[in-house]
Amino acid sequence: MERSILTRKIDKKKRKIVFLTGTRADFGKIKPLVSTLLKSKLFDVHLFVTGMHVDSKYGYTVDEIIKSGFSNIYQFDNNAESGRQDITLAHTLLGFSSYIKLIKPDMIIVHGDRVEALAGSIVGAVNNILVAHIEGGEISGNIDDSIRHSISKMSHLHFVANKAAARRLLQMGENKRSIFTIGSPDLDIMSSGNLPKIAETKKRYGIDYKSYAILMCHSITSELSGLKDKINTLVDAVDKSGLNYVVIHPNNDPGRDIVFDIFSTRLLGNERFTFFPSMRFEHFLTLIKNAQFIIGNSSVGIRETPFYGIPSIDVGSRQNGRTQFAKIKSIFHCDFNKNEILRLLVRFGSKKIKFAPSRHFGNGKSVEKFLKIIETDEFWQTKIQKTFLDINF
């Protein structure tokens, strides 16, 4: 299932590549890939920056992209005042289509399961431009799975995190020659020796806690009717725990305002809770590495936190599709039940506990594998016309 690394180099013509990013999370994934291609003389790299990045409510994180030293950045506001994902999708389709017509790339690279990435894959597919999808073939929960799998079907090439994801793409009729298992690219940053020290991070963000946990909770788009009760239950538990928390604002999914309003009303102003709309990715990794634990329903608790062996308390159904990771000893699942949550908070809040690091999503060598693959002739000879490959039952 894992395609071998090829060695034949492409010719001297620069290939024009567009990375699309719409959230702080996907930028953390693609950042090391962008950096390595910029160092190569073989590629002309561009970034289409939209979504949460250009919204002040989420910290206007396009500034962090600019501070990273990247150039060829095109900003597009796809914001739908209604918060509806279908309208956001439509806006992104129009904006990205106009952009692609202007710069005529050889390939579009998208990540994950957001509607911005779906728009990018659609625009590429219908305009006969190669589309590469980062971290397809995974399962989590609610509408994210449908969006992620749709992106995979619109994409020609796949860079996946592990063999399980590769197998799922084969189940979906994808050609094994288009699937490359490289691991999760953000682990390259996590395993580097270049992360800031915890003292630097605390000083930069004004965090005074000696010990702390990280709270990240997003809406569950398929459970909006009961969302208020669930978030209030979570707040009851973390407040009663008496622990210190660094709280990262929820992303821009439908229902985001419900989560944010409850957090703000009940926790803002409490000295044990420090809020941030977002923070620079490297500093966020330093916070994870030094936290007592992470709690909420973010994929960070499933993917990144176990890499450091830090406990993660996964609450509710948002990551239900990832229940196969129950074998990762640092992940603890529970429902939105106050007593269940408190039991785990007491366990990991009383003293710092570390587990053996997990390498389920790679070993921090993704960029090296990615570059060796993308520099080959064979990679660029991928056919635009896709075919569905049946499994022999």
Q: Can you give the pLDDT at residue 12?
A: 53
The edge-to-edge listing of strands for the beta sheet with 312-315 is 273-276, 245-248, 213-216, 294-296, 312-315, 331-334
The edge-to-edge listing of strands for the beta sheet with 157-160 is 73-75, 43-49, 15-21, 107-111, 130-134, 157-160, 179-181
Determine the Cα–Cα distance for residues 51 and 63; give it in Å rounded to an integer. 13
Q: Which domains does the chain have, with CATH numbers?
A: 15-191+363-380 (3.40.50.2000), 198-349 (3.40.50.2000)
CA-to-CA dists, residue 266 to 232, 245, 270, 344, angstroms: 9, 14, 8, 21
Amino acid at 70: F
Determine the Cα–Cα distance for residues 375 and 10; give it in Å rounded to an integer. 6
Please spell the DSSP secondary structure of 7-62, one letter per residue. Answer: -PBP-SSPEEEEEEE-SHHHHHHHHHHHHHHHHSTTEEEEEEE-GGGG-GGGT-TH
Determine the Cα–Cα distance for residues 175 and 373; give it in Å rounded to an integer. 16
Predicted structure pTM score: 0.88
Which parts of the chain register pLDDT below 70?
A: 1-12, 321-326, 393
Q: Can you give the pLDDT at residue 174?
A: 97
Determine the Cα–Cα distance for residues 346 and 333; give it in Å rounded to an integer. 15
Q: Can you give the pLDDT at residue 5?
A: 40
Determine the Cα–Cα distance for residues 17 and 298; give it in Å rounded to an integer. 29
- Using the CB atoms, write b or e for 342-352: b if 16+ within 10 Å: bebbeebbeee
Q: Can you give the pLDDT at residue 364?
A: 86
